[in-house]
Each structure stands twice: as C-alpha cells, then as structure tokens.
Amino acid sequence: MGLGTSSGTRVVLGHWQRSPFGSFSDVMVERPDGERLLLAPTERTAEFIRRTYTFDTVRVLPVDAHVSDATWTVAAGPLDLRFTTGRRGPLGLLLRAVPGALAGRPAWSALTDVPARVLLSGVRTRGTAGQGRREWYGARDLLPVASLSASFEGEDLGPLAPVDPPVRFGFGSAPRVPAATRITTTVALGRDEDVPAEG
C-alpha cells in the first residue's frame, strides 16, 4: 500500500503473506522533512529490508496489520493507520488475469517496467537495490485507496493525498495515486550473501 497525506508524510505498508521469514508486515515512512523511517517487527526482517532499501532510522517494534473486508487497521509504534480500499478499476482487472507463476518471473517484470513507468508515474518493476542486490516486482492486482485516517506520534497526518513527492526508499516509488497493489517480489542477493532461512 502506498499512501500520501496532506501533511506531507508518505507511507508504504508491506503486508507479506509468504516470505523466507514467514508472514509479517512492515512500514516505510517518509516524513515531510525527508527523514526515511523503517518500522519492522523483528531484527531479522529489519536487517533484510535495511540492506535492500535506504533509511535514516530503523526501529524494531510490533507491526500489527488487520484486514476486515475492505478496511485495514495498522498499528506500528508511533504510526496508526486506518484506511479503506475502493472498487477495482480496469488496470486492476487486467492485473488479476496475470498468473502467479508468470508474475514471479524477472523477465515479466522487465517487460512491464516501461508500461508501469508510463501508467503509474514513478513506479518501477525492476532495478538495483542496496548491497549489490537486484529486485523485481510482479503486480497481480491494484485497488484504489478510498479513505484514510492516520496519525504519527499522536499527531493527525491529515486526509488522504497523492504520494507526492515520490518516496525515496529504493529505485522506484509507489504509485502517485494512493493504492493497494498485490505483488510478487523477488530479491536477488549480493554475491557474498546467504539466503535467509525459512521462518
């Protein structure tokens, strides 16, 4: 989920049902002054994400994401979010037709990189990540975010707004229009790294 607020704080929520670390959620926050903050639930997930993206501050703390129908409720230390998703548009319907096995292939991400840049302004589906890593995103669904209530350290972040300016955690941004995207993410580790254990 990529979310913008009228205060200038932008949020990217990852809600991973399957990963080498098991299921977990993490949050990347970019504040109006440019500070990039990672909120991750364990040292292992924080370290993996920190080595893939760029942050000024990393905090390990409980990240709870609960989904009920179209409503998401997220609590992550200083950040509280509640948002709803709207009806799927034509691009979401098209992406839902992409088979999971195809979405996970780097060649598919390479093929969709240029259309993603054109259609979604700032979105990249492949690129160079941190520590010599490479990363590919295969999108499989897209839903607009219809409403948002958010606070950071008890301060209201204001109503939903575009993700503008683009977030600067990695080689690409979330879509400018706030959205929930279902993706298959592949990270190729650097030459001297071990694959994370299942868990």
CB 21 within 8 A of CB 45: yes
Find the angle CA(193)-CA(1)-CA(176) to the nearest 5 degrees: 105
Mean pLDDT of all residues in 29-38: 97
What is the pTM assigned to this prediction? 0.91
Over residues 166-198, the pLDDT tens digits come to 999 999 899 999 999 999 998 998 776 655 544
CA–CA distances in Å: residue 71 to residues 66, 127, 145, 149, 151: 8, 31, 10, 11, 17
Give the phi and the psi of residue 179 in degrees, each rounded to 5.
-155, 155
